[in-house]
Amino acid sequence: MTRPTADADLAIETAGLTKRFGTQTAVDAVDLAVPRGAVFGFLGPNGSGKTTTIRMLLGLLRATSGAARVLGSPMPGALDDVLPRVGALVEGPAFSPFLTGEQNLRRFDAADRHSSSRTRDARVSAALDRVGLAHAAAKKAHAYSLGMKQRLGLANALLRPRELLVLDEPTNGLDPQGTREVRALIRSLSADGATVFVSSHLLAEVEQLCTHVGVLSGGRLVAQGTLDEFRRSGGRGRVQVRTPDFDIARRVFAQLGVEETRDAASDGLVGSMADGIEPETIVAALVSAGARVRGFEVVGASLEQRFVELTGEGFDVVA
């Protein structure tokens, strides 16, 4: 198998990572590069191969070809060294329904041969408190809501200090307050130096949380980079003009080939620039035509726009 060269600056790196199920290729020659300390948003339509990729990274599924390194070590060869440094929440948490939240965590902690029984109580208590479940520690897991089960899964991932957190849909089932709390938790983990790899279908969440993104479509990685690079890589730039002279601005837009996309506000107009048109040209033409320009801004493409351009599919953007 091809082996990626170890890079100390990368928490996750893959080279030609591929997984086939019979004649179906679920993940097709993926080359991921996730910097240490990043909050990396892993995006893609349902069935694009996100979870299959995550399972290969964690050694839960063997790749057909290609290779992966996690925290500098080859996977799955270095499972014993890597997994204690990785916290994961994949495909939703699974707990014993008739044990309490605290008992479930104690059970998982006891199964970790690297954990000390002497400090178990403190570890479990701290994990429950960090995800806001201290009040429900004695409640049976079957009585937990979906959102509470999701938080319990996060608590399990946080029983030990982790260098890397791999979270598959971490806000699934959470109400708005719970979503805000998980968002704050992810930010705090990142601030503490952990790398966070988040698979999500909520673009609003990714835009608020992530420093880097990668997009899968049909099993192939079609884009990756910083959030700003990802937006800037769109084909057409956008401009936003604040002016009370809408009719004049619209005529100028039409003459220059700037496609009007929407009214941004009562005194705003947004347009998508044609290739080769400089923003300065638009401003000069507006002034020359007599439009009163109260504000002008070059606006980066939204994450949603870039996603649709790359995959040809819409996406859930509800926060």
Do 83 and 26 share a structural domain? yes
C-alpha distance from residue 205 to each of 182, 314, 316 (Å): 10, 16, 10
What token pair was written down for 53?
């990729």
The three-point CA angle 26-29-35 to 5° equals: 110
pLDDT digits (tens, 9 = 90+) for 165-211: 999 888 877 788 878 888 888 888 899 899 999 998 777 778 888 99
For residue 143 the two structure tokens come to 């009585």
Q: Whole-model pTM?
A: 0.75
Burial of 199 (0-12, 13-18, 19+ CB in 10 A): buried
Range of the domain at 257: 238-300
* 270 domain-assigned: yes
User: In the listed set 174, 202, 232, which residue is the last one of a domain according to the structure?
Assistant: 232
From first to last of its 319 residues, the chain has per-residue pLDDT tens of: 344 445 679 999 999 999 999 999 999 999 999 999 999 999 888 888 999 999 999 999 999 999 999 999 999 999 989 999 999 988 766 789 999 999 999 999 998 888 888 999 999 999 999 888 999 999 999 999 888 888 899 899 999 889 999 998 888 777 888 788 888 888 888 998 999 999 987 777 788 889 999 999 889 999 899 987 776 665 556 778 888 888 898 898 888 888 776 554 545 677 766 666 778 888 899 999 999 988 887 766 666 666 776 766 554 443 3
Instruction: State pLDDT tens for residues 194-206.
Output: 999 999 877 777 8
Q: Do 268 and 245 reside in the same domain of the chain?
A: yes
Do 96 and 175 sit in the same domain of this protein? yes
Q: Is residue 73 located within the same domain as residue 108?
A: yes
Identify the CATH number of the domain in which residue 290 sits. 3.30.70
Residues 191 and 67 occupy one common structural domain: yes
In a domain, 144, yes or no: yes
Nearest C-alpha neighbor of 27 from the set 7, 3, 56:
56
> How far apart are alpha carbons 98 and 100 in whole angstroms?
7
User: Among candidates 185, 52, 172, which has minimal Cα distance to 126?
Assistant: 185
